[in-house]
């Protein structure tokens, strides 16, 4: 990954925002490295847009500090922040054609006509819209509008680019295509990017790091693979990937589920109540004869099997009534030992895949 020379780090400290008396952002701290692709991921209403609006300068925070490369910008008016933004509905100017939309930021900066034409041409090239400069905005498809919005946000080489769910209006195929293109574009230009989405798969596909937001706070900030492998809270574990939880207890330096000892690879946490995270694809069906040392075994009753062609999903119920889900590929050895619904099954979970999180 190349870092653009103009890319700058962002440091947010103690950001507070209330609408009336409702707190929307609470003591939020976040550092974005220069040239990084950072995603704010969270459910609807978690304050992602609000944070982006505060970064862009459209919403005034109640407290906090935002430093961009050392300069405090929290009171800088939006047009002086030099931050590019891609809006969720694109916000293209309907009374201008594609060329004038993209040339707009250059015009504001007094760039000469010849250079403007050249840079707009280059931006159009970059987003693969060569030759569409004269098109009216309403003659473009959703995907093309998306590209124009993107070109407009990067043509003036801003220090930072913000994107608020830019792909949510596109259909699935185009969305996945654009994810890869956006990622490639970021690799090429290396601008500091803050990206907002509520789609965990999109976040994992695109980001260098992900900040998981919940109720106006950042629950966890990590690389996608660490976030998936080592969630720190129940919220993160359930929001990223699928999970079932069972309650476990830590006492005397070991972990217990009911009267059974649980093996963990990580150090045993302090005494107290925890939840064990069970990812469907980390569980496997055990034949009764298999040795089980170092493997946590969960005995349950199979309630349903759903074939999905390449894979299958088993639903089982533990003795205490909790649901378990297991997903595996349809290999003949697995299918051979598949019990029928209603029969007892044993699910195995390796110690290094055993994750404990604090109960919310």
Ligand X SMILES: Nc1ncnc2c1ncn2[C@@H]1O[C@H](COP(=O)(O)OP(=O)(O)O)[C@@H](O)[C@H]1O
Q: Is 77 helix (H, G, I), strand (E, B) or coil?
A: coil
Q: Which stretch binds other proteins (CB under 8 A): 25-33, 100-108, 184-192, 275-283?
A: 100-108
CB 252 within 8 A of CB 265: no
Within 214-243, the residues that bind other proteins by CB under 8 A are none
Q: Give the residue, chosen from 19, 58, 256, 329, that forms a contact with other proteins under the rule CB under 8 A.
A: 58
Give me the phi and psi of 184, to 5 degrees please: -65, -40
Which lies closer to other proteins via its Cβ, residue 103 or residue 237?
103
Q: Which of 82, 192, 193, 207 binds other proteins (CB under 8 A)?
A: 82
Note the Cα 45 to chain centre separation in Å.
15
Q: Which residue is listed with tokens 């946490």?
A: 269
When CB distances to ligand X are compared, the closest residue is 49
CB of 84 to ligand X, least distance (A): 19
Q: CB under 8 A: which stretch of 41-49, 90-98, 185-193, 286-294 binds other proteins?
A: 90-98
Of 40 and 189, which CB lies nearer to ligand X in the complex structure? 40
Taking a C-beta distance cutoff of 8 angstroms, is the pair 174, 9 a contact? no
Query: Are 338 and 257 within 8 A, CB to CB?
Result: no
Site for Mg ion in 40-79 (CB under 5 A): 49
Binding partner at 93 among other proteins, ligand X, Mg ion, none, C-beta below 5 to 8 Å by kind: other proteins
Distance in angstroms (rounded) separating the CA atoms of residues 165 and 74? 23
- Any contact of residue 93 with other proteins (CB under 8 A)? yes
24: partner contacted, choices ligand X, other proteins, Mg ion, none (Cβ within 5-8 A by kind) = ligand X
Nearer to Mg ion, 49 or 243 (CB): 49
Q: Show contacts of 179-187: CB within 8 Å, 24+ apart.
A: 179/205, 179/206, 180/205, 181/128, 182/150, 182/206, 183/37, 185/126, 185/127, 185/150, 185/154, 186/1, 186/37, 187/1, 187/2
CA angle 137, 115, 181 (to 5 degrees): 50
Using the rule CB under 8 A, give the single segment among 72-80, 122-130, 214-222, 231-239 that binds other proteins.
Answer: 72-80
List residues bridging with 299 in a β-sheet: 346
Decide the pairing of beta strands 71-72 and 63-68.
Answer: antiparallel
**Which one of 23, 45, 64, 78 is in contact with other proteins (CB under 8 A)?**
78
For other proteins, the closer of residues 95 and 172 by Cβ is 95
What's the CA gap between 236 and 203, in Å, rounded?
13
Among residues 48 and 282, whose Cβ is nearest to ligand X?
48
Q: Which stretch binds other proteins (CB under 8 A): 99-107, 275-283, 295-303, 314-322?
A: 99-107
Q: Give the residues lining the site for other proteins (CB under 8 A).
A: 56-58, 77-85, 87-89, 91-97, 99-100, 104-105, 108-109, 134, 136, 152-153, 156
């Amino acid at each position: 990954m190349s870092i653009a020379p103009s890319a700058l780090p962002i440091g947010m400290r103690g950001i507070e925002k209330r609408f009336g008396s409702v707190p929307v952002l609470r003591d939020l701290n976040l550092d974005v490295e220069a040239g990084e692709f950072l995603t704010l991921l969270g459910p609807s209403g978690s304050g992602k847009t609000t944070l982006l609006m505060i970064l862009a300068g459209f919403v005034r925070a109640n407290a906090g500090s935002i430093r961009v490369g050392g300069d405090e910008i929290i009171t800088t008016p939006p047009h002086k922040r030099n931050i590019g933004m891609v809006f969720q509905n694109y916000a293209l100017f309907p009374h201008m054609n594609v060329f004038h939309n993209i040339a707009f930021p250059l015009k504001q900066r007094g760039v000469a006509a010849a250079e403007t034409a050249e840079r707009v041409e280059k931006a159009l090239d970059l987003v693969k819209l060569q030759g569409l400069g004269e098109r009216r905005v309403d003659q473009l498809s959703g995907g093309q509008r998306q590209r124009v919005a993107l070109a407009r946000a990067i043509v003036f080489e801003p220090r930072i680019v913000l994107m608020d769910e830019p792909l949510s209006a596109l259909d699935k195929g185009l969305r996945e295509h654009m994810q890869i293109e956006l990622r490639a574009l970021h690799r090429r230009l290396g601008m500091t990017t803050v990206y907002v989405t509520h789609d965990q798969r999109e976040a994992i596909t695109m980001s260098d790091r992900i900040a998981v937001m919940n109720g106006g706070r950042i629950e966890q900030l990590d690389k996608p693979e660490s976030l998936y492998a080592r969630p720190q809270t129940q919220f993160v574990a359930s929001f990223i990937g699928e999970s079932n939880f069972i309650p476990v207890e830590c006492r005397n330096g070991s972990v217990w589920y009911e009267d059974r000892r649980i093996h963990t690879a990580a150090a045993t946490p302090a005494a107290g109540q925890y939840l064990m995270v069970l990812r469907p694809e980390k569980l496997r069906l055990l034949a009764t004869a298999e040795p089980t040392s170092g493997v946590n075994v969960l005995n349950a009753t199979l309630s349903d099997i759903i074939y999905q062609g390449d894979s299958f999903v088993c639903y089982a119920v533990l003795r205490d009534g909790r649901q378990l889900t297991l997903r595996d590929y349809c290999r003949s050895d697995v299918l051979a030992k598949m019990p029928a619904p209603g029969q007892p099954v044993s699910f195995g979970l390796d110690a290094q895949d055993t994750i404990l999180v604090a109960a919310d």
